[in-house]
A and B are shown apart, each in its own frame.
Chain A
Amino acid sequence: MNAQRTPKKKTPKAERDHVLHLLKNMIRIRRLEEACAELYSAMKIRGFLHLYDGQEAVAVGVMEALTAEDAVVATYREHGHALIRGISAGSILAEMFGKQEGCSRGRGGSMHLFDAKTRFYGGNAIVGGGLPIAVGLALADQMQQRPRVTGCFFGEGAVAEGEFHESMNLASLWKLPVLFVCENNLYAMGTALKLSESVTDLVRKASSYDVAAASVDGMDVLAVEAAAQKAAAAVRSGKGPHFLECRTYRFRAHSMFDPELYRDKAEVEDWKKRCPIEAFSKTLKTEGLLTDKDRQKIEGEAAKEIKEAVAFAEACTWEPVEDLTRFVTSERRSE
Chain B
Amino acid sequence: MGEFRMPSLGADMESGTLLEWRVKPGDRVKRRDIIAVVDTDKAAIEVEVYEDGVVEELLVKPGEKVPVGTVMAIIRSDADQPREAETKAVGAEQATTEAAPPRAQKKEPPAPPPESPAERVKASPYARRLAAEHGIDLKTLVPSGPHESICAADVKQAVEAAKAAGPEEPPPVAAPPRAEEAPAAAAPAPEEVSGWKDPEAMRRAIAKAMARSKREIPHYYLQTRVDMRRTLGWLESENRRRSIKDRLLPVVPLLKAVAMSLQEVPELNGYWIDDRHQPQEAINIGIAISLRQGGLIAPAILDADLLGVDELMAALRDLITRTRDGRLKSAEMTAATITVTNLGDLGVESVFGVIYPPQVALVGIGKTMEQPWAENGLLGVRPVMTASLSGDHRATDGLQGARFLDTLNRRLQEPSKL
Contact = CB atoms under 8 A, between A and B. Distances in A.
A binds B: yes
Listed residue (A46, A48, A257, A261) with the most chain B CB atoms within 10 angstroms of its CB: A257
A257 B9 contact: yes
B42 A43 contact: no
Contact of A47 (B11, B32, B68): B11
A277 to B, nearest CB: 14
B7 A257 contact: no
A58 B68 CA distance: 35
A259 B7 contact: no
Nearest to A259: B43
Report the interface size class on chain A: 10 to 19
Nearest to A43: B8
A47 B7 CA distance: 14
A38 B68 CA distance: 14
Contacts of B7: 41-42
B314 to A, nearest CB: 18
B11 A46 contact: yes
B132 interface: no
B186 interface: no
A43 B69 contact: yes
A159 B49 CA distance: 36
Interface in B22-37: 32
A26 B8 CA distance: 27
Nearest to A335: B308
Contacts of A258: 45
B43 A261 contact: yes
Contacts of B413: none
Interface string A246-285: 0000000000111101000000000000000000000000
Nearest to A44: B8
Listed residue (A40, A41, A46, A48) with the most chain B CB atoms within 10 angstroms of its CB: A41
A179 B7 CA distance: 40
B10 A256 contact: yes
A257 B50 contact: no
A41 B3 CA distance: 13
Contacts, number: 33
Contacts of A42: 5, 7-8
B42 A40 contact: no
Listed residue (B8, B43, B48, B68) with the most chain A CB atoms within 10 angstroms of its CB: B8
Interface in A2-46: 34, 37-38, 40-43, 46
A23 B161 CA distance: 95
B273 interface: no
A40 B68 CA distance: 12
Interface of B is mostly: loop
Listed residue (B7, B40, B42, B68) with the most chain A CB atoms within 10 angstroms of its CB: B7
Contacts of A38: 50
Interface string A42-82: 11001110000000000000000000000000000000000
A88 to B, nearest CB: 23
Nearest to B48: A37
Nearest to A37: B48
A15 to B, nearest CB: 32
A257 B13 contact: yes
A41 B44 CA distance: 16
Given A34-B32, A257-B13, A41 B8 contact: yes
Nearest to A35: B50
Contacts of B69: 43
Nearest to B6: A41
B29 to A, nearest CB: 14
A68 to B, nearest CB: 35
A38 B49 CA distance: 9
Nearest to A40: B8
Contacts of A257: 9-10, 13, 40, 42, 45
Interface of B: 5, 7-11, 13, 32, 40, 42-45, 47-48, 50, 68-69
Given A37-B48, A257-B45, A259-B42, 20 more contacts: A40-B8, A41-B5, A41-B7, A41-B9, A41-B50, A42-B7, A43-B8, A43-B68, A43-B69, A46-B11, A47-B11, A48-B11, A256-B9, A256-B10, A257-B13, A257-B42, A259-B43, A259-B44, A259-B45, A261-B43
Q: Give the top 7 A-B pairs by smallest Cβ distance, nearest first.
A: A259-B43, A257-B10, A41-B7, A38-B50, A43-B8, A259-B45, A46-B11
